[in-house]
Amino acid sequence: MTINQTQLSSKELQQQDAHGWFQGLLGNSCSESKNCDDDDDDDDDDDDDMTKMKALVVAPMVEQSDLPFRLLCRKYGANLCYTPMFHARMFLTRPRYRAQFWNLDVIRKINKKDRPLIVQFCGGDPMEMLEAAKVVEDHCDAVDVNCGCPQGIARRGNYGAFLLEKEELLLKIVRVLHEGLKKVPVTVKVRLLPPKCCTMQEKGCTCQSDGSVYCLESSLSLYERLIDAGAAILTVHCRTRHQKGHNTGAADWSAVRQVVEKLGHRIPIIANGGIANMDDVEQCLLETKADGVMSSEAVLEYPPIFKRNGSHTKFSNNKRTGPGRVALCNEYLDIAEEYPPDVGGQGSGMKCVRTHIHHFLSADLESNPTVRDMTISAKSYGDLRKALQAIELYHNQSNMEVEDETQHWYFRHRCEDKEGKMVSKTAMFGKSQILAGGELNEETAKGIACLFGNCNDASDY
């Protein structure tokens, strides 16, 4: 597979070998990345590494899969990244919005360091989607259609997971992109369809009567039509749009396995959902036979998730043996200062940076309100570095070692039941028992909203 083959039109890719193109894409990442150097001793015997030539993917996340964060993730093993979701209409009609998300000076400066890269758009107008996609096709490896966002704003905007329930419109969008893009293919990130969307009852589907969380038959039927329309990759988030927040619960990898069994011979299938560490990555690949694994929330808290000895794996004796969270914060700040998120870095400046620091330091900020307030009110990189120094001092005074760090933010909506199975906190405790403790005063609430970027978990996790 030559690098020139990554520039074939989407139609040509469908006529040839989508899997070959995909492996070539990952191979190019490996050949251009320091993570693939022969002298890399971060992992043990590579002969046992089932992730070889599998996609280790950083998900598209609003305000969070910004350029500095992607570069940090690539350093620690990610070999394919998505941009944040771009709103197609805003991208076309608002110059400041486009400059924030697509600055050619920054793109030329970064060159191959941020490749392979898939640009994700959301929208419900096929021609708007195509016009926006044409702007970026010279500087990315594929264009993705967001069919995963479960938030109410996506319903109002006629995009995201709600587009899955408007099948003909979605198929038209994919078909228009497939036929209109000349240099890159179109991909689609999907969720499972809820039972109320079942279209297969006449063929014996019982999802509406047997208590199923999702309708597999209707999902498979739609996915097959998406491939027929021109999709070159499907990323399957194995939850429905209703499974979010405290109702997130366990991802059902068996659904991805059935997608792979039925459709995996045609195009690459990437599994998304239920990935807390590298053990989960390997187990997901084993169970699903997918062509790759996408991480969102876990990689936000700990970017080296794709390292076997990074954090809380069997290989690391369930300890953190990779870099500590303060070190990761400093690395991210270094990159963000060079490539500011609000100057073509696809984020909203300090709000984006503060949100990342919160994800990295979630456990520390919960137990250190003074430092949390420093982080909330930070107006500059210098302010954030002072907060990091305070955290580091706290670690030293409490004799805390990196290996003692635990996963924290990832589990805010999740917990294990008595059998060790990951379930939603709603399922475990009920809605009335999730939020314990006193009510926040107005000033603190506003500060925390600022820290979170007031995004209401808008990313497609």
Q: Catalogue the E-assigned strands of 258-320.
A: 269-272, 292-295
**What are the pLDDT digits (tens) for 55-68?**
999 999 988 999 99
| Top-confidence residue, 207 or 417 | 207
Band the pLDDT of 414: cuts 50, 70, 90.
Answer: low
Most confident by average pLDDT, 267-271, 298-302, 427-431: 267-271
Q: Tell me which residue of 60, 56, 69, 59 sits closest to 356, measured CA to CA.
A: 69
Bridge-based pairing of strands 117-122 and 80-87 is: parallel
Residue at token pair 């228009």: 176
Residue at token pair 């027929």: 228
* Positive/negative CA dihedral, 36, 37, 43, 46: positive
Amino acid letter, 156? R
Please report the pLDDT score of residue 458 as a whole number. 40
Please report the pLDDT score of residue 35 as a whole number. 46
The residue-averaged pLDDT of 277-288 equals 94
Please report the pLDDT score of residue 422 as a whole number. 57
Band the pLDDT of 158: cuts 50, 70, 90.
Answer: confident
**What are the pLDDT digits (tens) for 308-333?**
777 777 877 888 888 999 999 999 99
Q: Tell me whether residue 81 is one of the annotated catalytic residues.
A: no
d(CA 306, CA 246): 26
Please report the pLDDT score of residue 63 as a whole number. 85
Catalytic residue among 149, 205, 329, 352: 149
Please report the pLDDT score of residue 205 as a whole number. 84
Residue 142 φ/ψ, nearest 5 degrees: -170, 160
How would DSSP label each residue in 29-66?
A: HHHH-GGG-TT--SSS-GGG-TTTT-EEEEPP-TTTS-
Cβ partners under 8 Å of residue 419, min gap 6: none
What 3-state DSSP class applies to 446?
A: helix
At what angle are helices 278-288 and 253-263 packed, to 10 degrees? 40
Please report the pLDDT score of residue 26 as a whole number. 92
Among residues of the chain, what percentage have pLDDT more than 90? 53
Please report the pLDDT score of residue 370 as a whole number. 92
pLDDT of residue 169 exceeding 80, the answer is yes
Task: Kindly report the average pLDDT of the chain as a whole number.
Answer: 82
The residue-averaged pLDDT of 95-123 equals 92
Is the link from the previous residue into 116 a cis peptide, with omega within 30 of 0? yes
Most confident by average pLDDT, 254-268, 362-376, 444-458: 254-268
Amino acid letter, 191? R
At what angle are helices 381-397 and 325-338 packed, to 10 degrees? 170
SS3 content of the chain, % helix, strand, coil (to 5): 50, 10, 35
Residue at token pair 């939850």: 239
Band the pLDDT of 46: cuts 50, 70, 90.
Answer: low
| Top-confidence residue, 460 or 50 | 50
Please report the pLDDT score of residue 356 as a whole number. 95
Please report the pLDDT score of residue 207 as a whole number. 79
Amino acid letter, 410? Y
d(CA 297, CA 313): 17
The residue-averaged pLDDT of 276-283 equals 92
d(CA 323, CA 334): 15
Give, for 235, the enclosing helix (H) or strand (E): strand 231-237
User: Which pair of tokens denotes residue 120?
Assistant: 């994700």
pLDDT of residue 83 exceeding 80, the answer is yes
pLDDT of residue 259 exceeding 90, the answer is yes
pTM of the model: 0.85
The residue-averaged pLDDT of 142-168 equals 81
Within 10 angstroms of residue 173's Cβ, the number of other Cβ atoms is 29
pLDDT of residue 457 exceeding 60, the answer is no
Please report the pLDDT score of residue 347 as a whole number. 76
